[in-house]
Amino acid sequence: MRYTLLLLLLTINFYTSFSQEGKSSQYAAGAQYDSAIQFMQHADDLNGLKYLRAAITIYQNNGDRKGIANCYQAMGQIAINHSNPTHALKNYLAALKISEALGDKTVTAYCYNRIGDINKGQRNYKDALKYDLLALQIFKETNNKNGLGSCYNSIGDVFENEGHYDEALSNYTSALKIIQETGDQKSLTWPYYNIGEVYMLKGDYSQALKYYQLALKIQENLNDQSGKAWSYNNIAAVYIKRKQLDTAEKYCLQSLEITTKQNELSGMTNASRNLSDIYEQKGDHIKALQYYKAYKTLQDSVLNRDNTRNLVTQQMQYDFDKKEAQIKEQQDKKDLITTGIGALILLAALVVRMAYRSQRKASMLKSELLQQKEESIVQKEILMREIHHRVKNNLQVIGTLLELQLASITDSYARDAITESATRLKAISLIHQQLYRDAYLATVECSQFTTDLHTQVSTIFINSGQYVTLRNEMPPIMLDIDTAVPLGLILNELMTNSYKYAFKGSNGSIDLRIEKEGDSYMLKYKDSGPGLPDGMDLRSLKSLGILIMQSLTKQIGGAFTYSAETKTFLITFRDAADMKKDA
């Protein structure tokens, strides 16, 4: 009957813990993704990519394909920002494959649009136009005006690059009309820029100036400094073509002033190039040479910056691909194990075993990934906290169900046995609760844990009107989890015995102290009760509690004794972390 009950409890806990774990890990994935987007919005793409890697790992474990697609999209944008079209295309194609399978038209259309832009950057205008038209069709079906505006701009770029200026103007004008309907003032500057650029190529400088000035007016209203610098440079280019060099010089210097303050290398490069051209035409060869040298230096800086970013992004992408392959291999193994579970007893054993095996694997994986620089600290902390959270939940559910079982048990011996078992489970659960809540993931602060443990034990055994004082004189010692669990169970047994046999419903007190003795510790436990009878030898006692404490003390390399003179239990032990170093 006992074994049947245990199997039932573990089976219920198996499904409950997985449900709770799924929700918490889903929130964790969302937090990682949101952090990545925040970093990207602040131009910190490298940290953005780290958080995307952490998010995609959790999404893969949860089977959240939409979340995975969103991560691939963001990673594709980072690759574009760092001039890495190969990885950009790879990520957008991965996102496209998932979105098409899910029937997500919005994500599919945006992927088409970005793939078109990547092909355009590679001068593969045929494929660029093909993907842009696919995106345009979906945006029309869904009446997505932002998408339509972006698409018409992209199609106009293709025609402009191929020299089909009338078709380019037609698409840019369509983009302009749609964006005007949305009321998005900042986005309006792009079709204005593009239309002005086409008129520049056609030699119609009056029209070019008109549209550049329309863009500038919006940027001045929005106080968009970067946009103003770009417009100043475009307007200067028009005046250079018109040979109005003084006016061109004024706009170029304004552009250079803004871009220098913002350390915007591309804008500084364009302004310096135009100023060199202006002074050359004015006959001021000294200034022309000065700005030409500045232009070449800045051009080299831009190239070096882009190359450096590209190399870093490629390395991070390589690390991500390698890690993704490892995760897939681990997932395949996990699926194989899950499929092999056929009996309830194996299921029960697996639930308990999986938690501790996962913890050992996580520690091994953490060490390996630190050596290879393939895993971020954030990702490891999330994994460890999830493991401790899961173990805590497992033990709490079993403990709670044992307490519920008490309602149907009348035998006092059986009730005591179940109550004591529940307190032992809660003691271990308390350790894992502290581990996932505190900053330390592998060590437990002994003093605070002991206080919390006493509070937990007292809620079970204390009687109405009874008052028990805990005098905790332990220093804040950090103990390894492999030491904390056995020591916590020993303290649980001692406190339980104090309430049951020493106080017997009366007021009392417990004194606790830990002293360091070389590479060992001495735990002293004393209560205000009468103590053990004179002449009693611990080795002669056959109670389950004493046997448990003696066995647990051996696990932590120590000894369990009793001082009849001071009525104090003495437990010597070594921290598992020190024993591991000696091994």
Per the prediction, the chain carries an average pLDDT of 79
- Check whether 310 has a pLDDT greater than 80: no
Q: Quick one: average pLDDT of 450-466?
A: 85
| Predicted pLDDT of residue 120 | 86
pLDDT band (50, 70, 90) for residue 362: low
pLDDT computed for residue 423 by the predictor: 67
3-class DSSP state of 243: coil
Lowest mean pLDDT among 111-125, 129-143, 148-162, 384-398: 384-398
Q: What share of the chain has pLDDT > 70, as a percent?
A: 73
pTM here is 0.49
Write down the pLDDT at residue 510: 94
| Radius of gyration over every alpha carbon of the chain, rounded to an integer in angstroms | 35
- What is the arithmetic mean of pLDDT over 237-258? 90
Q: Could you give the C-alpha distances from 270 to 80, 231, 285, 381, in angstroms and in order?
A: 21, 12, 19, 46
- Give the HSE-up count for residue 295: Cα atoms under 13 Å, Cβ half-sphere: 14
What is the per-residue pLDDT across 319-343, written as a single tens digit (0 to 9) for each?
A: 555 555 555 566 556 556 656 555 5
- How many other CB atoms are there within 10 angstroms of residue 142's CB atom? 13
Which 3 state secondary structure label does DSSP give 343? coil
Residue 514 bridge partners (DSSP): 523
Q: Which residues of 292-320 are buried (b: 16+ CB within 10 A; e: fewer)?
A: bebbeebbeeeeeebeebbeebeebbebb
Closest CA to 487 of 394, 359, 360, 573: 573
Position 391 scores a pLDDT of: 61
What is the mean pLDDT of the segment spanning 503-518? 89
Alpha carbon 343 to chain centroid distance? 36
Q: What is the pLDDT of residues 216-226, one digit of tens each?
A: 999 899 999 88
- Helical packing angle, 285-339 and 65-81, nearest 10°: 160
- Mean pLDDT, residues 179-190: 89
521 has pLDDT over 80? yes
Higher pLDDT, 355 or 374: 355
